[in-house]
Structure 1
């Protein structure tokens, strides 16, 4: 009898834990948009003319989406995609560069940890993944490893809908003296840099289901 009672209690406890886990693990989708700023300057040498210049990526709007699941910490695990259409800003060269327009994509796997205060939920977040830069005029795409760290807050209007705002800093790892943006074997620039830094300010909506 005692064995049956213990077995019954154990099964009941397991059922409660499974039910709790199912409730805690929710999926969410969070589209966002904002402004990307503060890109690092690159010290470059034109591979054709040997002209030295200071090159940076211009500030502009960006948009993206996160999709993931919540965790009982409370926190979340997510996949992030961010897109920015921008252009190069040449600091020391008055000539029009061959490359003008540039698309930048971030694809990151990340996590967030929340510090709930009622419906107001501040959080910190970090992620890692890839940065891809896609120039115009037929030059090659460049894909590099990158990481980010940031913080923000969301406000839960209902259990299924929240608005959020955050700031993130992205660091893209670039090999020193790397050739960038090649076309038919000819590369546009030699870059003397190890990291490309960029900041993003975003606002968005989070739908939980």
Structure 2
């Protein structure tokens, strides 16, 4: 149907431009998947008390490899928002990271929602990132799983090979907030240990490859 009224023509053009702007903004956002692998290190020591005889000991999580994936979408900052999953198969040992008795095998999982701010310089994209979510500690031997709130901070850089492909390297730190004087890792035989520490700190060094689509 032809538009003969100039005001109607202007209104139609304005609506068309608004729709094109929204379409352009939607198409500018890209989704990505980034498989990562790395090494978890620097676990803080946690002081425990054995329930049976009040004996005190210091436990820490071993340094081991980790792997995970990030799923997200880009923003206009330039930056992105993403969901991070990270898994480490480790051991919980007494007397520090490099010595002492192994108490249990322990799976450490992080599930975090995060955001990244990039500082592009040619093909290089240095960035800072922050996350928040949950840490899950899953010991073997029939002991209960422990889930706690945690936060993370990281520094890294991407090198963009193409518009849809980039290599990344980063260092992250995680802080998991534990309940002081809280019984932990309970099982059928009751709670063996009482935790006397408020925060579990871990670091990660990761490499990955980002696919945008």
**Do both proteins adopt the same fold according to a TM-score greater than 0.5, normalized to the shorter chain?**
yes
Aligned length: 207
Give, in whole Å, the separation in 2 of the partners of 1:191 and 1:5.
72
Match of 1:30 among 21, 34, 39: 34
Change in Cα spacing, 1:138 to 1:5, as seen in structure 2 (3 Å) is same
- Give the greater-gyration-radius structure (CA): 2
Match of 1:61 among 62, 65, 87: 65
Kindly report which structure 2 residues correspond to 1:29-178, keeping only aligned pairs within 5 A, or say none.
29-91=33-95, 96=101, 99-178=103-182
Q: Deviations over 1:10-62 (max 9, x none)?
A: 12321331232122211110000000011110111111232211111111100
Structure 2 runs not aligned, ≥5 long: none
**Over aligned residues, Cα RMSD in angstroms?**
1.6
Shift of 1:104: 0.3
Give, in whole Å, the separation in 1 of the partners of 2:139 and 2:68.
19
Give, in whole Å, the separation in 1 of the partners of 2:203 and 2:93.
17
Q: Deviations over 1:110-165 (max 9, x none)?
A: 11111111211111111111000000111110000001011111011111111101
Q: Deviations over 1:47-80 (max 9, x none)?
A: 1232211111111100000001111111111111
Change in Cα spacing, 1:148 to 1:95, as seen in structure 2 (3 Å) is closer
Q: Does 1:9 align with 2:7?
A: no
